[in-house]
Amino acid sequence: MTTDVIDAAQAGTWTLGDAVVRRVGFGAMRLPQTGPALIADAVPRDRAAIAVLRRAVELGVDHIDTAAFYFSSRLSANELINSALSAHRDELFIATKVGPARDTAGEWAAHAMTPESLRGQVEENLRQLGTDRLDLVNLRIVRDDHFAERFGALAEMRDAGLIRHLGLSNVQPRHLEIARAIAPVVCVQNPFGLGAFGEQREMLELCGELGVAFVPFYSLAGTNRERGASQQAGDAPEVLEVARAHGATPAQIRIAWTLHQGPHVLVIPGTGDLRHLAENVAAGGIRLSEDDLQLLDTAQAAG
């Protein structure tokens, strides 16, 4: 790797709402279980998950992304976070998501899309995380009917003190415009990474113009999405060349490239492996040259 120092602070910070957070965070989707994420019969890995969470904080990570619908047959990601990091709660900024929900068999529940269901989802996140106020709640869009009504319901919970900040996930520019007319939006979580489509970059650039944090998901996995990043995913010749030049892995180069897309870009790579965790955090210290970026832009255009 390019540096012997592994610290999330190397990537710099961004002010997310009223909190300054490091730009390299941690995504908890894969924590509760091995194998494909969000699959009900995958194998739980509670003890390994707790070790990863504690090590992430030791490496300087202070921004964790989670959701009540990330769970195994034993525990949710929220409960693992609460168990592992309760002593560090005041040092952390924990973002969660509501909108979709899963039943105990892992099936998505259609009723979760209604404004009325959101209060129960917020309460469940509060319970699992062991707190009386959520730092950030992102409204995840699967379908956009009653969008303004649903976001308005979250804004009411923010006004009531249950939520500090609001964000959006999986949205288009028009959703951001509607939401900002209802309440402040501090971040947008959308798919983005090396090889992203033009419309995906449009949202990144819009957020930069508005001073809204852009938090990409699937930035490592690409088209593999919930299955996670394979050894080959995104390993174009240009990526491999830059990785060799920096003594880094292709995954680290993809993280570094994403961070170079703007100071408002925050990354939340997830893993259940301590070695991959250290590599992900160390990627925040990689400084890509203009030549590196031009070469990677060639891979981006090809993607």
230: pLDDT confidence band, cut at 50, 70 and 90? very low
pLDDT of residue 2: 46
| C-alpha dihedral (86, 13, 247, 59), degrees to nearest 10 | -20
Total structural domains in the chain?
1
Catalytic annotation present for 218: no
Q: Which strand (E) or helix (H) includes residue 22?
A: strand 19-22
Tell me 143's DSSP state.
S
Residue 173 lies in a domain: yes
Spatial neighbors of 240 by CB under 8 A, at least 6 apart, are 250
State the pLDDT confidence band at 104, using cuts at 50, 70 and 90.
Answer: low
CATH code: domain of residue 138 = 3.20.20.100
Considering 26, 70, 192, 217, which one is annotated as catalytic? Answer: 70
Residue 91 lies in a domain: yes
What would the pLDDT profile of 20-45 be if each residue is shown by its tens digit? 999 999 999 988 866 555 555 555 57
pLDDT value, residue 71: 80
Q: Is residue 2 part of a domain?
A: no
Does 97 fall in a domain?
Answer: yes
Residue-range definition of the domain harbouring residue 109 = 21-189
Q: Which pLDDT does position 226 carry in this prediction?
A: 44
Instruction: Using the predicted structure, report yes or no on whether residue 184 has a pLDDT greater than 90.
Output: yes
Residue 66 within a domain:
yes
Q: Rounded CA gap, 166 and 156, in Å?
A: 11
**Helix (H) / strand (E) containing 213:** strand 213-214
List pLDDT tens digits, range 190-214.
Answer: 999 998 778 889 999 999 999 999 9
Residue 3 scores a pLDDT above 90? no
The pTM assigned to this predicted structure is: 0.90
Q: Would you say residue 152 lies in a domain?
A: yes
Residue 278 domain-assigned (yes or no): no
Structure confidence at residue 248 (pLDDT)? 97
Higher pLDDT, 280 or 45: 280
Beta-ladder partners of 189: 169
Supply the DSSP string of 148-203, one letter for each residue: HHHHHHHHHHHHTTSEEEEEEES--HHHHHHHHTTS---EEE-B--TT--HHHHHH
Residue range 56-74, pLDDT digits in tens: 999 999 999 999 988 877 7
Q: Please give the pLDDT value at position 221.
A: 53
Domain assignment present for 162: yes
